[in-house]
């Protein structure tokens, strides 16, 4: 009998607990002793590596919490306001956009620090058993665009695109449109291939939206296979399909060099050196954004940024081993300076 009275008691407790927890949660939202970072899945492995090392070097601080949400969603959360329930750091695989910056300002996030942590490469790869392709940006654009130069895409094999290429069916595994890697692929490779045509250049001035559609829309008839955000899966698919190509982050190429090889783009092979010097077309900078208003309120945030600056150094830091490509010396020096002085970003430089 007592057992079932206890049951009722438990239920009552749970209900009371609901209210109590609600109150405690609010109090918990008022302050925080852990750094919180959100954003790009490309920057995630580097920020987590620093986050892991951080409490080992500074035992008085807790390990930061890093969440991979994608650049766009991360910056949205970051810009939602100032206070403990909003993140302190946003990882971004592209620069912040003007609209996002305006959103920030509107919500009271007036000062942010922009730090470039390094470079990432969008690599094209194929299986080791592949045909050792060498492509140009134009080839890729003509093979993958939905409407190359405004006409429907009829290319079936690479030979249809460029007579010098082998008659191998076009099949490319790549990220879906929601991915930052896809944005970068469209911007760095497709758009450049598109602009190689003079007509498209004039279109860019005349009708920007039309230009974007013609230049970056990818065909949907099966030649380009969207393979989810999981780059490991693309590597597996390439091994199974020696004729196919894959689009993924350079770090995945580097980690799986026994299974896949890089595809030459404009005659340049994707390696650490060619990406670091921006010779390889698929190179893009990676950033972290830090909220100035949180620098005093969140313990350890300043030290965390300082630790990041140590970590990206290609000689003494550990991020190179994780696949991060260090920025050129002058860019690095400038960003170390920003990371120490925490100079806020000048909104005028964003377009």
Task: Give the DSSP H/E element, type plus range, for residue 258.
Answer: none
CA–CA distance, 119 with 328 (Å, rounded to integer): 9
3-state secondary structure of 269: coil
Site size with another protein, rule: CB under 8 A: 52
222 lies in the site for another protein, by CB under 8 A:
no
19 lies in the site for another protein, by CB under 8 A:
no
14 lies in the site for another protein, by CB under 8 A:
yes
48 lies in the site for another protein, by CB under 8 A:
yes
231 lies in the site for another protein, by CB under 8 A:
yes
49 lies in the site for another protein, by CB under 8 A:
yes
Provide Rg for the chain, Cα atoms: 24
Complex with another protein: residue 14 or 333, whichever CB lies closer: 14
- Tell me the closest approach of the beta carbon of residue 103 to another protein, in angstroms: 16
How long is the chain? 351
Residues of this chain, 62-101, that bind another protein according to CB under 8 A: 62-63, 65-68, 85
Alpha carbon distance, N-terminus to C-terminus of the chain: 72
Among 103, 160, 187, 229, binds another protein (CB under 8 A): 229
| DSSP code of residue 325 | B
| DSSP code of residue 96 | P
Query: For residue 289, what are its two tokens?
Result: 């954004």
Complex with another protein: residue 144 or 311, whichever CB lies closer: 311
- Tell me the closest approach of the beta carbon of residue 330 to another protein, in angstroms: 28
Give the contact letters, 120-159, x = binds to another protein (CB under 8 A), - = no. ----------------------------------------
In this structure, the strands spanning 112-127 and 134-135 are unpaired
Complex with another protein: residue 84 or 350, whichever CB lies closer: 84
- Residue 156: CB partners within 8 Å, gap ≥ 6? 169, 170
Residues of this chain, 243-282, that bind another protein according to CB under 8 A: 249, 251-252, 255-256, 258
117 lies in the site for another protein, by CB under 8 A:
no
34 lies in the site for another protein, by CB under 8 A:
yes
Query: For residue 128, what are its two tokens?
Result: 């080791």
Complex with another protein: residue 27 or 348, whichever CB lies closer: 27
Question: Which of 54-62, 138-146, 292-300, 341-349 is the region at the interface with another protein (rule: CB under 8 A)?
Answer: 54-62
57 lies in the site for another protein, by CB under 8 A:
yes
- Residue 265: CB partners within 8 Å, gap ≥ 6? 124, 134, 135, 136, 137, 140, 189, 280, 281, 282
CB distance 40 to 70 below 8 Å: yes
Complex with another protein: residue 149 or 318, whichever CB lies closer: 318
| DSSP code of residue 280 | S
176 lies in the site for another protein, by CB under 8 A:
no
Query: For residue 129, what are its two tokens?
Result: 């058993």
33 lies in the site for another protein, by CB under 8 A:
no
- What are the angstrom distances between the C-alpha of 229 and each of 42, 63, 70, 175, 273? 11, 26, 10, 6, 26
3-state secondary structure of 39: strand
| HSE, side-chain direction, 13 A CA sphere, residue 2 | 0
CA–CA distance, 46 with 267 (Å, rounded to integer): 29
- Residue 114: CB partners within 8 Å, gap ≥ 6? 95, 96, 287, 289, 338, 345
Question: Which of 61-69, 108-116, 206-214, 216-224 is the region at the interface with another protein (rule: CB under 8 A)?
Answer: 61-69
- Tell me the closest approach of the beta carbon of residue 72 to another protein, in angstroms: 16
- Tell me the closest approach of the beta carbon of residue 113 to another protein, in angstroms: 22
CB distance 34 to 63 below 8 Å: yes
The contact set with another protein (CB under 8 A) reads 1, 4-5, 7, 10-11, 14, 17-18, 21-22, 24-26, 28-29, 34, 36, 41, 44-45, 47-49, 51-52, 55-59, 62-63, 65-68, 85, 229-232, 249, 251-252, 255-256, 258, 318, 321-323
């Amino acid at each position: 009998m007592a057992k079932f009275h206890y049951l009722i008691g438990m239920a009552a407790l749970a209900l009371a607990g609901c209210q109590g927890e609600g109150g405690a949660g609010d109090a918990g939202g008022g302050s925080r002793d852990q750094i919180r970072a959100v954003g790009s899945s490309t920057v995630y492995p580097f920020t987590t590596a620093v986050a892991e090392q951080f409490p080992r070097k500074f035992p008085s601080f807790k390990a930061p919490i890093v969440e991979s949400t994608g650049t766009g969603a991360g910056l949205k959360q970051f810009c939602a306001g100032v206070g403990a329930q909003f993140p302190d750091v946003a990882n971004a695989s592209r620069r912040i956009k003007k609209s996002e910056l305006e959103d920030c300002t509107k919500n009271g996030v007036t000062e942010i620090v922009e730090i470039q942590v390094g470079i990432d490469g969008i690599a094209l790869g194929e299986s080791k058993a592949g045909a050792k392709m060498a492509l140009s940006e134009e080839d890729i654009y003509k093979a993958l665009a939905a409407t190359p130069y405004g006409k429907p895409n009829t290319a079936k094999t690479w030979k249809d695109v460029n007579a010098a290429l082998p008659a191998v069916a076009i099949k490319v595994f790549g990220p879906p449109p929601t991915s930052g890697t896809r944005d970068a692929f469209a911007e760095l490779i497709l758009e450049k291939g598109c602009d190689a045509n003079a007509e498209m250049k004039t279109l860019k001035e005349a009708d920007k939206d039309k230009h974007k559609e013609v230049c970056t829309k990818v065909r949907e008839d099966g030649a380009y296979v969207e393979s989810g955000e999981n780059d490991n899966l693309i590597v597996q698919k390439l091994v199974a399909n020696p004729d196919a190509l894959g689009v993924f982050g350079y770090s995945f190429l580097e980690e799986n060099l026994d299974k896949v090889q890089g595809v030459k783009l404009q005659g340049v092979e994707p390696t650490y050196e060619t990406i670091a010097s921006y010779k390889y077309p698929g190179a893009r900078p990676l950033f972290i954004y830090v909220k100035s208003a949180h620098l005093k309120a969140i313990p350890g945030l300043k030290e965390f940024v300082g630790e990041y600056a140590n970590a990206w150094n290609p000689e003494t830091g550990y991020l190179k081993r994780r696949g991060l490509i260090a920025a050129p010396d002058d860019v690095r020096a400038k960003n170390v300076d920003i990371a120490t002085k925490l100079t806020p970003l000048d909104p005028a430089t964003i377009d």
